[in-house]
Amino acid sequence: MNDFVVNMGPEKYYIQSAYRLGSEEKENAERRPLLATKDFFKKIIITDSRRKVSYDDKGIIYMVLYDFLLDKNSLN
């Protein structure tokens, strides 16, 4: 199950939140619910890690909490 599902008009966003992704096991645990969602809407993992916005090989977006909260275009 995803932590959050955001519906904004015709758009939907699946969001997982994790304070830290310190291990591959933790990262896989956060990715699992997103990968189980078989549609084309954006899937995002929000963390406190100090990384730039990036995508993994499955199209999941990794984003820092501050960017998510402070950038009004973070979901675009």
Interval 13-56: pLDDT, tens: 999 999 888 899 999 999 999 999 989 999 999 998 777 889 99
Say what the pLDDT of residue 2 is. 81
- 75 part of a folded domain: no
The secondary structure element, H or E, covering residue 31 is helix 24-36
**In the chain, beta strands by DSSP E:** 4-8, 11-18, 42-47, 54-55, 61-64
Let me know if residue 11 belongs to a domain. yes
50 domain-assigned: yes
CA distance 31 to 3: 11
Q: pTM of the entire structure? A: 0.89
Domain count, the chain: 1
Task: Give the whole-angstrom CA distance, residue 36 versus residue 51.
Answer: 25
pLDDT for position 59: 94
Domain presence at residue 65: yes
Contact 46, 17 (CB under 8 A): yes
Query: Does residue 76 sit within a domain?
Result: no
The residue segments making up the domain with residue 35 are 4-70
User: Comparing 7 with 75, which gets the higher pLDDT?
Assistant: 7
Strand partners, 17: 46
